[in-house]
Amino acid sequence: METHSLTNLINKVVNKLLESKSVVVFTGAGVSAESGVPTFRDKDGLWQKLKPEELANFNAFMRNPDMVTEWYSHRRKIMHQVQPNPGHFAIAELEKFFERFAVVTQNIDNLHQRAGSKNVFELHGNIERNYCIKCKKFYQLGDIYPDKAIYCECGGLIRPDVVWFGEMLPEDEYESAVKASRTCDVCFSVGTSAVVFPAAYIPIYAKQSGAFLVEINPNPTDISSLADVVLQGKSGEIFPLIVEEFKKRKGL
Ligand code: BV8
Ligand code: ZN
């Protein structure tokens, strides 16, 4: 990890990108912070001062389906009111220049897809999808935001299709993400505290497989010491600078 000026570090990253064929962008809640979506562990935190582990888990849901259903409705409402930010758009733009490019996100907010990213692996699910815990029937709630538990015609409780603590990640998404991380030339870790596993293995596998690891985060994290370059700052400000310099160097 070097402590040159931001410009030097961005040039270092762009030099690497120019000689690369395959890129992975691993993202967490921080990439959506500038869109107005609250992160988990920053000071502004959640809607209630409960820990995510207390709300984002199956037992909490079975104990209090009304509260957890209302919490997800509240978060879905925010996600419907916000827009992707320049960081999401810059990631979507960079994808166009690489035949092998994957966004591996821990976010459930759909903002990467809304910004135009094509190859997105959602390791923790997507808040727009819901399903009945009994018959597994899928439901799209669209613009209804139930403030208490909702039930399927079979009588089963309907839950969000997100990965709660203690739950397995979607196998195919995770497998594809691990494969991409093991074969990429450059891996970005953007807006994540990298404390939740197994998702946080992605940048570690990339580094272990010889990728150039770039962290973009205003604060230090558990993987900062692993990164080849740490760009300290907001992703909505930094990622567009990287793409701008990259396009300039390609004469675009
Ligand atoms: C699993 C989805 C086991 C729902 C989330 C005991 C029992 C079981 C498992 C465990 C256990 N103890 C530990 C574990 C493992 C556990 C875990 O890792 N716990 C941690 C807390 C220690 N993991 C699990 O339980 C996983 N499953 O292990 O299953 C198993 C194994 C085999 C068979 C069966 C079961 C499942 C984990 C998934 C949990 N679901 N969310 C929802 O969203 O509601 S996790 C939640 O935290 C988020 O989804 C997010 O994905 C995750 C990480 O948070 P971040 O995205 O990093 O956000 P955070 O707020 O932390 O950080 C934001 C960062 O952005 C900060 O660094 C900040 O500086 C930065 N930032 C702020 N502004 C900006 C910015 N960066 C850039 N620009 C800005 N503007
Ligand atoms: Zn059902």
Residues 81-96 have a mean pLDDT of: 98
**59 lies in some domain:** no
Q: How far is the CA of 223 from the centre of ligand 1 (A)?
A: 14
Alpha-carbon dihedral of residues 121, 187, 239, 86, nearest 10 degrees?
A: 0
pLDDT of residue 114: 97
Burial class (CB in 10 A: 0-12, 13-18, 19+), 102: buried
**60 lies in some domain:** no
- Ligand that lies nearest to the alpha carbon of residue 203, given by its number in the listed order: 1
> What domain count does the chain have?
1
pLDDT of residue 69: 95
Residue nearest to atom 50 of ligand 1 (CA): 106
Q: How far is the CA of 77 from the centre of ligand 2 (A)?
A: 24
* SS3 track for 150-162: CECCCCCEEEEEE
Q: How far is the CA of 126 from the centre of ligand 2 (A)?
A: 19
- Smallest Cα–Cα separation from 13: which of 234, 228, 165, 251? 228
pLDDT of residue 40: 74
What CATH number did the domain enclosing 196 receive? 3.40.50.1220
User: Angle between the 235-249 and 86-95 helix axes, to the nearest 10 degrees?
Assistant: 30
Q: Which residues line ligand 1 (CB under 6 A)?
A: 28-30, 33-34, 39-42, 52, 56, 106, 108, 124, 162-168, 191-193, 195-197, 216-219, 221, 234-236
Tens of pLDDT, residue by residue over 186-245, are 999 999 999 999 999 999 999 999 999 999 999 999 999 999 999 999 999 999 999 999
88 is catalytic: no
pTM of the full structure? 0.95
**129 lies in some domain:** no
**245 lies in some domain:** yes
Q: Using alpha carbons only, how large is the chain's radius of gyration in Å?
A: 19
**54 lies in some domain:** no
pLDDT of residue 56: 87
Query: What are the percentages of helix, strand and coil residues in the chain, rounded to 5?
Result: 40, 20, 45
Confidence of residue 1 (pLDDT cuts 50, 70, 90): very low
Q: Report the range of poorest mean pLDDT among 12-16, 39-43, 124-128, 223-227.
A: 39-43
Alpha-carbon dihedral of residues 60, 61, 63, 65, nearest 10 degrees?
A: 140
CA dihedral for 136, 137, 143, 148, sign (positive or negative): negative
Helix (H) or strand (E) holding 89: helix 86-95
Which of 79, 162, 196 best tests ligand 1's pocket when mutated (most atoms within 8 Å of CB)? 196
**Average pLDDT, rounded, for the chain:** 94
Question: Residue 220: which domain range?
Answer: 1-37+84-124+168-252
Q: How far is the CA of 150 from the centre of ligand 2 (A)?
A: 11
Residue 225 DSSP symbol: G
Residue nearest to atom 6 of ligand 1 (CA): 166
What is d(CA 8, CA 2) in angstroms, rounded to the nearest whole number? 10
pLDDT of residue 53: 73
Is residue 163 a contact partner of residue 170, using CB atoms and an 8 Å limit? yes
